[in-house]
């Protein structure tokens, strides 16, 4: 089994090779993490630093040039010193051209998250950099562990207040604490065990060989008996939109149990648990997955079939059978409806290709055609993971890991899957024949 080691620093956002014609590398092999300077604690400063690294043919950093710090502040010297000292100690497998090591340069941008003062509490609606959901998630993950724990505790108190106090029950496992006001008190333990199983499948089958990061505290899960109680809770968070499930990067999952079938609940649980798994074990602090990948992978898992109590990654039922009024009838699943929309759009010349998905802004991705973007993102993940030999075991995990470290998605995609144009043609054919 191929093991993908993690090598990049905690606040890395973006890098670009200064010589795109170069055949390979450089790749970091020793990368101490950048740290937020203690002097900035409580200041609210969260600058973005543009830096250029010169790397010699042995892979040693020969120069670190801080090109800009924005916004500027009285702490510029502390940020400049941290970047220069830390990145100077990095070591690389040197870039190569025609198989020979060569000197190279890298242009990067790194963002330092605001560091809270030790006595500072974090409010439920504390402002975070960026209005995009992924940017907000990255900002929360970049907070110090104590600050994220305080945010989680605040969200947990809010959720607890919406459970029926006469029916509250709780169950705890290695990774989760589940609280619910379901009529049957056993529901809490069933949900907790299901979540443990989901995490195990994600680690062992969907992302094999990827080294997992550890987390110091458990995820809180709230299963509301009624939809109205869940909606009352979700209304506290303007970024939760009108979704059927809620996930906070601080470490909280919430949903309601008032759905037509248990399969609907399972799909929601799979989707939100996937977000939690990626944030908790895969993403570097301060890094956000591209929208298409974060939502597409969660949809991929959520749409996967469960047979004989076991998740079947990638196996999707587009229609199922049910007995209604004594008659057996076929109905289209949610995944089937999403597939119909994507295929119809392609036939009409309005379908989404790779570039549209990879470059969509938040306004476009979550806008009027949001359902099509979600559906197409799910199908793109399906294509990347299951559409070619080695996709599930090598190429897709490699893509996930590099994007989780902050590598630019277009360059990463090309290096793993080849030219965008040929992959786009293959993807469109894959959707049409799905």
Same domain for 81 and 141, yes or no, is no
What gap in Å lies between CA 225 and CA 246, rounded to an integer? 15
Same domain for 325 and 409, yes or no, is yes
Same domain for 245 and 310, yes or no, is no
Could you read off the pLDDT of 105-138 as tens digits, one per residue?
Answer: 887 777 777 766 653 433 333 333 334 566 677 7
> What is the predicted pLDDT for the residue at 25?
60
Same domain for 209 and 70, yes or no, is no
The CATH number for 152's domain is 3.40.30.160
What gap in Å lies between CA 292 and CA 173, rounded to an integer? 31
Reference 293, options 360, 386, 203; nearest CA is 360
For the ranges 30-34, 93-97, 237-241, 350-354, which has the lowest average pLDDT?
237-241
Cα–Cα distances (Å) from 372 to 265, 357, 378, in that order, read 22, 10, 10
Residue 2 domain-assigned (yes or no)? no
Same domain for 329 and 350, yes or no, is yes
Mean pLDDT of the 246-268 span = 87
The CATH number for 44's domain is 3.30.2420
Q: What's the domain count of the chain? A: 3
> What is the predicted pLDDT for the residue at 11?
37
Residue 87's CB: how many other CB atoms inside 10 A?
22
326: left (phi over 0), alpha (psi -120 to 50) or beta: left
Last residue of a domain, one of 91, 111, 131: 111
CB 26 within 8 A of CB 92: yes
Residue 100's CB: how many other CB atoms inside 10 A?
10
What gap in Å lies between CA 49 and CA 122, rounded to an integer? 25
Residue 7 domain-assigned (yes or no)? no
CB 226 within 8 A of CB 256: yes
Same domain for 133 and 257, yes or no, is yes
Same domain for 39 and 147, yes or no, is no
Reference 391, options 376, 380, 406; nearest CA is 380
**Which domain does 232 fall in, by range?**
121-288
pLDDT confidence bin for 239, thresholds 50/70/90 = low
**% of residues, the chain, pLDDT over 90:** 29
Q: Helices (DSSP H) in 112-261: which residue ranges?
A: 133-142, 145-160, 187-201, 227-234
Could you read off the pLDDT of 329-347 as tens digits, one per residue?
Answer: 555 567 777 788 888 988 8
What gap in Å lies between CA 2 and CA 17, rounded to an integer? 26
Same domain for 263 and 324, yes or no, is no
Same domain for 277 and 310, yes or no, is no
Last residue of a domain, one of 288, 305, 338: 288
> What is the predicted pLDDT for the residue at 174?
92
Last residue of a domain, one of 111, 141, 168: 111
Residue 162 domain-assigned (yes or no)? yes
Same domain for 136 and 264, yes or no, is yes
> What is the predicted pLDDT for the residue at 326?
55
Residue 143 domain-assigned (yes or no)? yes
Residue 139 domain-assigned (yes or no)? yes
């Amino acid at each position: 089994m191929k093991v993908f080691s993690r090598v990049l620093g905690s606040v890395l956002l973006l890098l670009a090779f200064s010589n795109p014609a170069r055949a390979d590398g450089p790749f970091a092999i020793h990368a101490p993490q950048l740290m937020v300077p203690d002097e900035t604690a409580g200041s609210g400063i969260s600058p973005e630093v543009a830096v250029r690294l010169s790397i010699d043919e042995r892979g040693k950093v020969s120069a670190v040039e801080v090109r800009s710090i924005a916004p500027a502040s009285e702490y510029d010297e502390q940020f400049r010193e941290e970047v220069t000292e830390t990145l100077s100690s990095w070591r690389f497998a040197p870039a190569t051209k025609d198989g020979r090591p060569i000197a190279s340069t890298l242009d990067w941008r790194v963002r330092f998250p605001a560091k809270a003062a030790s006595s500072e509490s974090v409010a439920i609606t504390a402002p975070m950099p960026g209005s995009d959901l992924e940017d907000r998630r990255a900002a929360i993950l970049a907070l110090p562990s104590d600050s994220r724990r305080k945010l989680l505790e605040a969200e947990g108190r809010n959720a607890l207040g919406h459970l029926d106090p006469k029916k509250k029950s709780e169950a705890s496992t290695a990774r989760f604490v589940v609280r619910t006001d379901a009529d049957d008190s056993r529901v809490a333990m069933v949900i907790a065990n299901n979540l443990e199983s989901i995490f195990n499948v994600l680690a062992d089958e969907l992302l094999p060989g990827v080294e997992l990061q550890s987390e110091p505290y458990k995820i809180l899960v709230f299963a509301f008996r009624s939809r109205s109680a869940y909606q009352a809770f979700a209304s506290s968070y303007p970024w939760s939109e009108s979704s059927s499930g809620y996930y906070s990067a601080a470490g909280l999952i919430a949903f309601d149990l008032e759905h037509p079938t248990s399969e609907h609940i399972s799909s929601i649980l799979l989707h939100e648990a996937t977000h939690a798994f990626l944030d908790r074990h895969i993403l570097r602090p301060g890094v956000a997955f591209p929208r298409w990948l974060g939502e597409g992978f969660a949809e991929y898992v959520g749409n996967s079939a469960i047979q004989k109590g076991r998740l079947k990654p990638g196996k999707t039922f587009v229609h199922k059978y049910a007995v209604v009024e004594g008659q057996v009838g076929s109905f289209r699943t949610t995944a089937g409806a999403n597939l119909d929309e994507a295929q119809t759009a392609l036939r009409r010349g309005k379908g989404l290709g790779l570039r549209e998905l990879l470059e969509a802004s938040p306004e476009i991705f979550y806008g009027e055609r949001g359902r099509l973007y979600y559906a197409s993102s799910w199908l793109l993940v399906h294509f990347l993971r299951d559409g070619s030999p080695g996709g599930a075991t090598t190429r897709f995990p490699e893509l996930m890991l590099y994007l989780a470290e902050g590598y630019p998605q277009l360059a990463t995609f090309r290096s793993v899957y080849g030219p965008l144009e040929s992959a786009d043609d293959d993807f469109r054919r894959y959707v049409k024949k799905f």
